[in-house]
């Protein structure tokens, strides 16, 4: 049984999602999605902004997986030209499904600029009520953004998807703590950035040491990437990642069954990570642009 986390609305979300942004942005994702599903992934993460919901849907169809065996996420475009409900209905047609499992406000930027964040969330609540999405949530939201939504929300966001890895832990930890307090699950994107986008940083020796210990303990090779995923799992965080290599997808999925990191290793990851702040996405949201 694959690892799933409980959401605050009674549903469950697989811990690992295959993302169709970044490397697949505006590209045909069908073959990659099909390969990911065949490798064992059941959670697919898309977005209107990515421009490939139709091929995400095609990949699911091509895999012949039953609808109830796959968890589908999509996200609202930053500046919707229609009502939120109608944009989601368009997405459902592209995806070839009657509902998604999770629908997120992709960024708060436009809603904040127009003073419509609370109104947008009311529309999201209607979407959930009508069953167009089983769960609703947000993405790239700060504590302040969440507090604004929660002032009038009748449904607490199930998820907040943010860039989360050790090199943003210095600022992301207070979002993590706030969400934990409110029962909002954090989803991480860019989790492997310390390896692929910022190698040579202070966290490298910590990851190498933990990987070596886990390799000995598990009897099979453990990579630094798996150490990062294990850190997220132990913090109750969902990981969204992308890879063109089936072997890497299988390696990622195998992380859930590895022995746990020690409290000392977790502390070292966060301490060393906080020594070097490196954000790679959405800098304007955090006034870092």
Please report whether residue 173 resides in a domain.
yes
Does 178 reside within a domain? Answer: yes
Residue 84 domain-assigned (yes or no): yes
Taking the C-alpha atoms of residue 97 and residue 77, their distance in angstroms, rounded to an integer, is 19
Q: Do 159 and 276 form a contact (C-beta atoms < 8 A)?
A: no
106 is an annotated ligand-binding site residue: yes
In a domain, 7, yes or no: no
What are 84-134's pLDDT values in tens digits? 999 999 999 999 999 999 999 999 999 999 999 999 999 999 999 999 999
The residue with tokens 């998604």 is 100
Mean residue pLDDT across the chain: 96
Is pTM beyond 0.85 here? yes
**What are the beta bridge partners of residue 71?**
43
- Other residues' Cβ atoms within 10 Å of the Cβ of residue 5: 17
Residue 86 forms part of a structural domain? yes
Quick one: average pLDDT of 13-42? 93
Q: Considering just the CA atoms, what is the radius of gyration of the chain in Å?
A: 18
Give residues with Cβ within 8 angstroms of 116, minimum separation 6.
110
How many domains would you assign to the chain?
1
- Residue 131 backbone zone (phi > 0: left; psi -120 to 50: alpha; other: beta): left
pLDDT digits (tens, 9 = 90+) for 165-200: 999 999 999 999 999 999 999 999 999 999 999 999
Note the pLDDT of residue 1. 52
Active-site positions read 50
Give the whole-angstrom CA distance, residue 29 versus residue 157: 28
Boundaries of domain holding 18: 12-275
Is 265 in contact with 238 (CB distance < 8 Å)? Answer: no
Among 104, 107, 159, CA closest to 133:
104
2 within a domain of the structure (yes/no): no
CATH number, domain at 77? 3.20.20.100
Does the pLDDT value for residue 256 go beyond 80?
yes
Asked, for residue 137, whether it belongs to a domain, the answer is yes
Within a domain: 193: yes
282 pLDDT above the threshold of 90: no
């Amino acid at each position: 049984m694959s690892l799933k986390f409980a959401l605050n609305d009674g549903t469950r979300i697989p811990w690992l999602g295959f993302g169709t942004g970044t490397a697949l942005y505006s590209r045909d994702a069908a073959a990659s999605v099909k390969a990911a599903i065949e490798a064992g992934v059941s959670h697919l993460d898309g977005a209107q902004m990515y421009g490939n919901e139709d091929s995400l849907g095609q990949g699911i169809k091509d895999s012949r997986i039953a609808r109830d065996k796959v968890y589908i996420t999509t996200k609202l475009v930053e500046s919707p030209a229609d009502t939120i409900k109608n944009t989601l209905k368009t997405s459902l047609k592209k995806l070839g499904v009657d509902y998604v499992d999770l629908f997120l406000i992709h960024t708060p930027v436009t809603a904040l600029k127009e003073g419509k964040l609370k109104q947008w969330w009311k529309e999201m609540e209607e979407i959930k009520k009508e069953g167009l999405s089983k769960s609703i949530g947000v993405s790239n939201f700060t504590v302040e953004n969440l507090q604004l939504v929660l002032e009038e929300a009748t449904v607490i966001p199930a998820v907040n998807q943010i860039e989360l890895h050790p090199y943003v832990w210095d600022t992301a930890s207070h979002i993590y703590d706030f969400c934990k307090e409110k029962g909002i699950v954090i989803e991480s994107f860019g989790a492997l950035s310390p390896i692929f986008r910022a190698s040579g940083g202070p966290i490298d020796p910590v990851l190498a040491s933990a990987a070596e210990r886990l390799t000995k303990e598990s009897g099979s090779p453990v990579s630094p990437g798996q150490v990062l995923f294990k850190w997220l799992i132990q913090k109750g965080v969902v990981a969204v990642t992308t890879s063109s290599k089936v072997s890497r997808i299988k390696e990622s999925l195998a992380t859930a069954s590895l022995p746990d990191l020690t409290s000392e290793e977790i502390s070292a990851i966060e301490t060393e990570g906080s020594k070097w702040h490196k954000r790679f996405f959405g800098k304007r949201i955090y006034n870092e642009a």
